[in-house]
Structure 1
Amino acid sequence: MAYENWSKEDLVARLTLLEAEKEAPRVAITPPPPNPRRLWKTFDFSSYPRRKIALKFCYSGWEYNGLAIQTDPTPLPTVEGVIFDALGKAKLIDPDAGLEGCGWERCGRTDRGVSAGGQVISLWVRSALNNASIASDSPPLPSSKNDIPLVDPEDAFAGLDDDFGSLDDMDIPPPVKAPSKSEHSYTLILNRILPPTIRILAWSPVASDFSARFNCKSRHYKYFFATDNLDISLMREAATRLVGLHDFRNFCKLDPAKQLTTYVRRVMSAEISPVEGSPSGMHVLDLTGSAFLYHQVRHIMAVLFLVGSGLEFPSVVTTLLNVAPNAESDPTLPVVDTKPEYQMADGLPLMLYACHFGAGDLDWQVEEEAAGDADTLSPLGGGLYHQLHSIQARSQIYSTLNAEFLRAAAARHAPPPARLPLSATGFVPDGKTPMNVPLGGAEFRRSAKYVPLLERNRGEHFEVVNERWRLGKGARRDERRKAVEDEGDE
């Protein structure tokens, strides 16, 4: 405030007013009465019934450090970790009980960068129904309150900030006797908490002995790739040789911690086709099998890329599957009982597309946002289809912009000569001229000299790898576990 132009009388009046305010007694301010909803700070999970359900969801793998929760810190969050936190925030599970406390099981594990369009987990969650109304038998919880008829928790949340009500503080009164109404809208509750890169597609009630892992009959993977410098006909011929019951030890990464002694898996179908509606001519490998080994799909794609480049013949797949002499194998084929050294394909284009279960195992339930609440309750607004459509439309804008950048660069920079596939270019590797050997995900290995797969150095036999792990890391792990058990007995 500027006092330069004030008169003497005005300045004296101002000083007198300030002195009066300074000497005035302070009036005690009575705090408002406490909110009765904040008197209950602990949530008694044992007071609510539980039921077992399955959740189907999709996620963008490049945003996460893989699917499975890790005991050690990871540079990126894991998909399961984010979903687990959302379930805990919604008070659908007890986060302090961990994965074991809710019987968490996954259908198929995906690694860092790998996405899913139809991943499935099964677990026990809090239910809005009375125990007698739940089809599957929930195991008794450690409380006699488990059989008390409960008020629908969604009614208890009425008037709070959202449909699951101030869950950060969990200001929920204890349950009172009242008839239950309908089940929680699990997909809506979770999608309002989860980031847009993870979407719950549906939920299903399941039997108490249902397992997302062991009830799964088959898994369907998709691997997307550009057809630049690849002979698709050769790749298709090689892919057909994968179908059937085979030992895939040469198409996976050995994990001694699992102590596997058999690598036999059944591939039900392996087909390569154009991606429907793709303006850039993208193709996809659709691979379906009963179960898959560690990094099996990425190793398969690496070999198919070598075949599509013309650097290997399709018959190399049959040879790599010939791990031991038998009556059905071609006697002219070499036996390859240990894996040649080669780099697996990039994980970005890989997706666990679907998990298939037996008839009657699942009954998927779908809920949609109410029209009036869509813009305020959902992080993206609108129903689930609209949310995912918006994400796709935005990615198409990025793709269009990148195409314009490439077009602008092409006006001043000529594209390099294409030397692959050898079947189309007629190029003969001379050990001097570099080639861009594809690895998927727009990644390449630049090399002038190519060594055929069957002439490369071989890894150790899985029995040797398993034994070394048992005597090393495995033995040390067992010692630590024994020490913990002994401390618990004292």
Structure 2
Amino acid sequence: MRMWRAAIKFAYEGKNFNGSQRQPGVRTVEGEVIRGLKKIGAMDDPVTARFKVASRTDAGVSALGNLVCFDTEFSRDRILHALNAVCDDVYFIACREVAPSFSPRRAKERWYRYFLADDGIDMDLLISASRLFVGRHDFRRFCKPEGRATVKTVNNIVVTKAGGLFIIDLYAREFLRNMVRRMVAAMEKAGRGTVTVADIREALEGRDISFGLADPYGLCLMDIIYDIDFKAESTEPMKRKVGEKREEALLELFFYDSLLDIGNDDK
């Protein structure tokens, strides 16, 4: 069999994992992916296979478009079906062969989306705060640096409203650890009037101030953009598993909607 480098887009719901990065003794996204690759015989050892994931996500953060790369001899035509059949709570949606030198971490752009409940937040203040982050800034007050350079460029932030939610879309080539959640926390506080837009501007200029961390469950890595295209495929194992999860979610929604309706019937 011919060795080739696989690049696979995959999705997961963050509440099912203790983050994406491998950790001993806890369930993680990388751990589940590696377990699946070993089970189908696509990989024996992550080191020799040059296993790499594009973006690390915190516990509770979901993804619809993360990317994993590894060297394998497994059939290109069967790998998505096989992985979706054996993995739990991780869904593999696109695959293509890439150059041996391809690294998933070198992306053109990353797109995150945050869902924020509209409960007393001023949309104009939320948008005004978001605009401060666009462009090139030192984000050392809005991240966990971990020894990395903190000057980064945010390409765009778009705030829209749908029903009872604000949808905040954030775009950049890369984000530092906790950077999105810290920016959203600052935006939310500005929208509630507990901090000012000037406070956020001063923090970007170096003032030692923390705005906290937004809840991880509202955050989703929507996609990672490269110079190459990926064609999504929906395999039967994925359709079946996602259908079951959707049915569970609808039943759960019915339960909570019913609770909210108690006492609201016309007498």
Q: TM-score, normalised by structure 2?
A: 0.92
Residue 25 (structure 2) pairs with residue 73 (structure 1): yes
Task: Tell me what 2:242 maps to.
Answer: 388
Task: Tell me what 2:258 maps to.
Answer: 404
Residue 165 (structure 2) pairs with residue 282 (structure 1): yes
Alignment gaps of 5+ in structure 2? none
Match for residue 249 of structure 1 among 107, 131, 140: 140
After superposition, the Cα gap between the structure-2 partners of 1:103 and 1:203, relative to the gap in structure 1 and judged at 3 Å, is same
After superposition, the Cα gap between the structure-2 partners of 1:287 and 1:363, relative to the gap in structure 1 and judged at 3 Å, is closer
* Whole-angstrom CA distance in 1 between matches of 2:211 and 2:195: 13
Residue 101 (structure 2) pairs with residue 209 (structure 1): yes
- Using the TM superposition, give the Cα deviation of residue 200 of structure 1 relative to its aligned residue in structure 2, in angstroms: 0.4
Point out the structure with max Rg over C-alpha: 1
Residue 220 (structure 2) pairs with residue 351 (structure 1): yes
Kindly report which structure 2 residues correspond to 1:78-157, keeping only aligned pairs within 5 A, or say none. Answer: 78-94=28-44, 97=45, 99-128=46-75
After superposition, the Cα gap between the structure-2 partners of 1:367 and 1:343, relative to the gap in structure 1 and judged at 3 Å, is closer
C-alpha RMSD over aligned residues: 2.0
* Whole-angstrom CA distance in 1 between matches of 2:234 and 2:115: 30
- Using the TM superposition, give the Cα deviation of residue 272 of structure 1 relative to its aligned residue in structure 2, in angstroms: 1.1
Amino acid in structure 2 at the alignment position of 1:62: K
Task: Tell me what 1:240 maps to.
Answer: 131
* Whole-angstrom CA distance in 1 between matches of 2:200 and 2:131: 9
* Whole-angstrom CA distance in 2 between matches of 1:290 and 1:363: 18
1:375-431 deviation per Cα after TM superposition (whole angstroms, max 9, x unaligned): xxx3xxxxx4564355334313312321221332679xxxxxxxxxxxxxxxxxxxx
1:16-55 deviation per Cα after TM superposition (whole angstroms, max 9, x unaligned): xxxxxxxxxxxxxxxxxxxxxxxxxxxxxxxx43210101
Task: Tell me what 1:264 maps to.
Answer: 151
What SS does the aligned partner of 2:180 have? helix
After superposition, the Cα gap between the structure-2 partners of 1:342 and 1:410, relative to the gap in structure 1 and judged at 3 Å, is farther
* Whole-angstrom CA distance in 2 between matches of 1:410 and 1:340: 44
- Using the TM superposition, give the Cα deviation of residue 345 of structure 1 relative to its aligned residue in structure 2, in angstroms: 1.2
Match for residue 368 of structure 1 among 235, 242, 245: 235
After superposition, the Cα gap between the structure-2 partners of 1:252 and 1:386, relative to the gap in structure 1 and judged at 3 Å, is same
Amino acid in structure 1 at the alignment position of 2:245: I
- Structure with the larger strand share: 2
Alignment gaps of 5+ in structure 1? 1-47, 129-182, 324-335, 370-377, 379-383, 412-490
Task: Tell me what 1:292 maps to.
Answer: 175
Identical counterparts, % of pairs:
26
1:280-321 deviation per Cα after TM superposition (whole angstroms, max 9, x unaligned): 522211001111111011111111111111112223322211
What SS does the aligned partner of 2:133 have? coil
Aligned length: 265
Match for residue 3 of structure 2 among 31, 39, 50: 50
1:139-172 deviation per Cα after TM superposition (whole angstroms, max 9, x unaligned): xxxxxxxxxxxxxxxxxxxxxxxxxxxxxxxxxx
2:12–2:63 Cα contact (<8 Å) kept: yes
What SS does the aligned partner of 1:101 have? coil
* Whole-angstrom CA distance in 2 between matches of 1:251 and 1:409: 44
* Whole-angstrom CA distance in 2 between matches of 1:51 and 1:341: 46
What SS does the aligned partner of 2:153 have? strand
Task: Tell me what 1:320 maps to.
Answer: 203
Residue 105 (structure 2) pairs with residue 226 (structure 1): no
- Using the TM superposition, give the Cα deviation of residue 367 of structure 1 relative to its aligned residue in structure 2, in angstroms: 5.8
- Using the TM superposition, give the Cα deviation of residue 101 of structure 1 relative to its aligned residue in structure 2, in angstroms: 1.2
* Whole-angstrom CA distance in 1 between matches of 2:110 and 2:242: 23
